[in-house]
Structure 1
Amino acid sequence: MIAKRMGMITIGQSPRTDLVPEIQEILGPEMEVMEAGALDGLSHEEVKRFYPRKGDIVLCTRMADGTEVVVGRRHIIPRVQHCVNVLTERGAEVLLFLCTGRFPEFSTEKLFIEPQKIVDHMMAALLSGKERVGMLVPLASQTEQARKKYGRLKGEVIIRAASPYGRPEELRTAGRELKAANPSLIVMHCMGYSEAMRRTLREITGKPIVLARSLVARVVKELLS
């Protein structure tokens, strides 16, 4: 499939100046990118009604001013569908979801690329035996959910939390804990983690690092070339 117009959807606010440029660098200048966000047009006060409650699947994302916000998935699902509709109307030929979380299927006739499926199939391939893999997720509240999800796979997953939108020391602390656990490699399981964060984690741990955003971008590049 050859496409020249891609719509990118964040569960936070667009434009994602911290994320999209790194993906676009891999895709190449010939790809026109349009963005939409599930929280576009909302103030911090308005977003409070989307805060997670007990039993909600928790998501971590970014506001336009760079601040972190935590929301419940059930609030975001219909707003992502709206983004799908808007970008389709604007002429997007393919849609890339900028989140590695698991979501229900969205209604669209366009190719809808879900990073969760790309990253998780890679995890399944890596955990084929006695491998020990480290994983970084944004929130401590997400670690138990991740353990249940990956506990069904062979091998061992060591999970630590550090927000891509938080203090740099969070990442360094998580990195030291992962180094002590001595995994064979580490997966940064959130599209918010950057190339600079990967370098920091690699310097601390000395381990190979799989960065979700660059992995997904390279798969998309292969698919659309």
Structure 2
Amino acid sequence: MHTVTFLTIGQSPRPDLSVAIEAELPPTARIRHAGVLDGLGRAEVEARFGAVRGRATLLSRLTDGASVTLDADAVGAALAARVEQVEAEGADVVVLLCTGEFPGLRTRRARLVEPDALLTGYVGAALRGARIGVVVPLPEQVAEARTKWRALDPAPAFTTASPYADDDGALCAAARARLDAGAEALVLDCMGYGTRHREALRAAGITAPVLTPGAVVGAMLGPLLA
């Protein structure tokens, strides 16, 4: 029996992020949730992890449903300690619920699942040579996304729309603009995007392939644990 801990950079639990992955896991898997910001109030989150102008940023959610913009370096340092903690508590599989890049993150023995590596690898292999439109949550994340996806040829085009918006109108408009400009497939590059967002795009008449990180991670992790 595997103990799988879903680790968010925000506050746990985040079943909205893990549901697509959990659907692919064996029924015997023991599921746990943990978060980098667990137990912290909004003021402490802002003081310790608030976004810093000119530095890499990440977007997540608190348990009250509010979204929060975070400094990627501060999150990365705390994430390393949190990974060590959940492994010590018995996790033999640790699944990050974030598509950000965290260089140097390690475990002692547990399998560490990093969605950014799985997503970029899958897209590079499955959609080789295709024109890709990549959606990220925030305008300030586009520069980092260009670096992350630099191996794709042709180079992808980027747009932004928050997965935590009250409605999906902005996402549908951004996706349509990329497709009208020649994109053949869409990659929603944040764990906050899920089945609901893909269904909203389908309802808006978008028929091009739409990849969400949770679906990719679930499809690739499930067979390893079966």
Aligned to 1:171: 171
In the alignment, what sits opposite 2:10? Answer: 12
Please state how far the C-alpha of 1:178 moved relative to its aligned partner: 2.4
Shift of 1:152: 4.3
The farther-off stretch of 50-59 and 108-117 is 50-59
Across the aligned residues of Structure 1 and Structure 2, the Cα RMSD in angstroms comes to 1.7
Match of 1:196, as an amino acid?
R
- Following superposition, the deviation at residue 126 of structure 1 comes to 4.6
Return the offset for 1:29: 2.7
* AA in 2 matched with 1:98: L
In structure 1, runs of 5+ residues without a counterpart are none
Structure 2 runs not aligned, ≥5 long: none
Residues 23-172 of structure 1 correspond to what in structure 2 (within 5 A)?
23-49=21-47, 50-109=49-108, 110-126=110-126, 128-129=128-129, 131-168=130-167, 169-172=169-172
Contact 1:138 1:161 in 2 (8 A): yes
**Identity score, percent:** 33
Deviation at 1:220, TM superposition (A): 0.7
Q: 2: CA distance between counterparts of 1:214 and 1:89?
A: 28
Aligned: 1:211 with 2:212: yes
Distance 2:152 2:15 in 1: 35
Larger RCO (alpha carbons 8 Å, 6+ apart)? 2
Q: Does structure 1 retain, via aligned residues, the 8 Å contact 2:23–2:218?
A: no
- Deviations 1:74-127, CA, capped at 9 Å, x for gaps: 111222123212212221111111111110222421111111110111232256
Aligned with 1:35: secondary structure?
strand
- Count residues with an aligned counterpart: 222
CA–CA distance in 2 between the matches of 1:76 and 1:186? Answer: 27
Q: Measure the CA separation in 2 of the matches of 1:125 and 1:22.
A: 21
How far apart are the structure 1 equivalents of 2:150 and 2:82? 33
Equivalent AA in structure 1 for residue 181 of structure 2:
A
In 2, the alpha carbon distance for the partners of 1:64 and 1:197 equals: 20
3-state SS, counterpart of residue 60 of structure 2: strand
1:22 CA displacement: 3.0
Decide whether aligned partners of structure 1 residues 19 and 153 sit closer, same or farther in structure 2, where only a CA change above 3 A counts.
closer
SS at match of 2:75: helix
Q: CA deviation at 1:71?
A: 0.4
Alpha-carbon distance between aligned partners in 1 of 2:148 and 2:14, rounded to the nearest angstrom = 28
Tell me which residue corresponds to 2:223. 222
| 1:156 CA displacement | 3.3
**Partner of 1:182: helix, strand, or coil?**
coil
